[in-house]
Amino acid sequence: MSGMGDGYVGTAQDAVRIRKLEKQREAERRKIQELKDKSASTKGQPGLLQFGKSRAEVLEHAFKKETVGLVTREEYVEKRINIRNKIEEEEKEKLQKLQQEEEELQLKKRKQRKIKGNSRLSFADDIENGSEEEDGENDSQPKKFRHGKFGKDPTVETSFLPDSEREAEEQAERERLQRQWFLEQEQIRNEPLQITYSYWDGAGHRRVIQVRKGDAIGEFLRAVQQQLAPEFREIRTTSVENLLYVKEDLIIPHQHSFYELIINKARGKSGPLFHFDVHEDVRTIADATIEKDESHAGKVVERHWYEKNKHIFPASRWEIYDPTKKWERYTIHGD
């Protein structure tokens, strides 16, 4: 207890720690003193830019300090130019420093992206570091196991993932099927279609004519006019626009085609619009649950006759064909 008056010395480790802290404090004191000396030496320099001031203010402040007292015109101009050059050099150095820092930052980001791109797994670095440590510890021992490269698991279902090759193949297949469909539809349009019609002027004059399935109603009526012209004088003097084609109590506009009626399975008021022959529904057993399958001859009518007799049956039942209107059941008389 008698040695307590001299102070506690501590262990050798404490002495080493104390000397280390004293060196650090001494280095910090020297650094602070150097910064003070530097700021004191540069405080009076007119060329240094000051925070919060514009370039013009700094230039004017430095120029006033340099031109205190009487100076000649040449000295005045020379000092002005020197101060301006010094400030421009400082700004140029500052800009170069900022550009260099930006380039270093971009380079660092590219390196990080490259490292992330090379490793497929988030724990790949840990595995590599662990394997390196094991190799360093067991250099004297032969290697018994080495980690392989991590890749895709072939047993995992990946059909839902984006695949550019698969999408390109599917797109090519869709285009091939589309071309094939267009060719098939064009062949259907070019197929011959035999139509039984009746020229109606109050009485029926049944005829048969052959056209293409792709022909429009207007083209069909032109062919009908050529067929009927030798027999009916009123047909010879009229135009195709003044002829109407009435099928199953519906007036079919000239722009519609037979292909359109067939492909859409169009329905009329008294029968289907996609059958152009004439047949009746003959049954041995009546069954009201099954719709009748009957097809009536379409009528070719002159527009003047229709306007004159549209209040009389059967013209009173006729109306313009509307593709959006659906006829659920067929009727022969009335509405």
Q: Taking the domains of the chain in order of start, what are their residue ranges?
A: 191-277+295-320
Mean pLDDT of 158-169: 81
Per-residue pLDDT at 177 exceeds 90: yes
Asked whether 320 and 220 are in contact (CB, 8 A), the reply is no
Per-residue pLDDT at 129 exceeds 80: no
Mean pLDDT of 7-29: 83
Mean pLDDT of 18-40: 85
Q: What angle do CA 319, 325, 330 make, to 5 degrees?
A: 70
- pLDDT, one tens digit per residue, over 70-124 is 667 777 778 778 878 888 888 888 888 888 888 888 888 888 777 766 555 555 5
Mean pLDDT of 242-271: 87
Q: What is the 3-state secondary structure (H, E, C) of 208-225?
A: EEEEECCCEHHHHHHHHH
Tell me the pLDDT of the chain averaged across its residues.
76
pLDDT at 268: 82
**Which residues, other chains included, contact 270 with Cβ-Cβ below 8 Å and sequence gap of 6+?**
248, 249, 296, 330, 331, 332
pLDDT at 222: 92
**Which residues, other chains included, contact 294 with Cβ-Cβ below 8 Å and sequence gap of 6+?**
271, 279, 280, 281, 330
Looking at domain 191-277+295-320, does it have CATH number 3.10.20.90?
yes
CA 152 – CA 331 distance, rounded (Å): 67
End-to-end CA distance of the chain: 130
pLDDT at 33: 86
3-state helix, strand, coil in the chain (%, to 5): 50, 10, 35
- pLDDT, one tens digit per residue, over 57-66 is 666 777 677 6
Three-class DSSP category at 247: strand
Per-residue pLDDT at 273 exceeds 50: yes
